Structure 1
Amino acid sequence: MTEQKFFAQPNETEWTELAPGNTRRVLIHTPEMMQVEFGFEKGAVGALHSHPHIQVSYVAEGSFEVTIDGKTEVVGQGGSFIVPSGLVHGVLALEKGRLVDVFTPHRADFL
């Protein structure tokens, strides 16, 4: 059993390129929860998808066109959105930006 990590520093984890203009890094996690930062260049897409995890997202920088279950809204810096389990969702970066997402339970596929 590994020791529980309580703190995460900004440059402890590497960015992973997911698609052109779209990167991700896992910041910290437990079996029950995970915090992940996503970086987007202007025009980059987080393609429509779904997963069993509940997701809450905070727009740390930029603005995004966010689609959840067929409903679309622009969410700017300082805004948030929540994606219940199983709903189809995705984003389009209207400008360069960053999302900080929390998933419950953690996303094993990101580790």
Structure 2
Amino acid sequence: MPFGKLSDQKAREIVPGFYGKFVHTDRMTVSYWTIDAGALLPEHRHPHEQITTVIEGQLELTVAGETQVLGPLEIAVIPGDTVHAGRAVTDCLVIDVFQPARDDYR
């Protein structure tokens, strides 16, 4: 189906305070996140390449030991198998794009 409404999807809490809606193709996943202020994304890694874009709010990200607070329309590019973690400084809206697709989010 080439068209749909994100509003028709029920958000899933993947880690405490991180609520995601997901769109998948055979080769990529786009995640739309609503994140509560103060929510922590534990340090982790995965084989997927990731591009994170903050739409609203402030998100502190640590990628390969480097930390930066991202605001609206700022991005982070995270290579596959790179250790990263995060913390929502404020309530946030964030879009993540993953390649290859995140089967664990299906």
TM-score norm. by structure 2 comes to 0.93
Q: Alpha-carbon deviations, 1:83-105, whole Å to 9, x = none?
A: 00000111100000011000001
Matched with 2:16 is 20
Give the counterpart of 1:31 among 26, 33, 42. Answer: 26
Distance in structure 1 (CA, Å) of the matches to 2:89 and 2:66? 17
Give the counterpart of 1:103 among 94, 98, 102. Answer: 98
Aligned residues: 106
Distance in structure 2 (CA, Å) of the matches to 1:105 and 1:38? 19
Larger radius of gyration: 1
Report the Cα offset of residue 62 of structure 1: 0.4
**Percent of residue pairs bearing the same amino acid type:** 31
Matched with 1:94 is 89
Structure 1 unpaired stretches of 5+: none
TM-score norm. by structure 1 comes to 0.89
Report the Cα offset of residue 42 of structure 1: 0.8
Structure 2 unpaired stretches of 5+: none
Equivalences for residues 38-77 of structure 1 within 5 A: 38-77=33-72
Q: Alpha-carbon deviations, 1:69-90, whole Å to 9, x = none?
A: 1110111011111100000111
The structure 1 segments of at least 4 consecutive aligned residues displaced by more than 3 Å after TM superposition are: none
Code of the residue aligned with 1:37 in structure 2: it is: Y
In angstroms, what is the RMSD of aligned CA positions?
A: 1.1
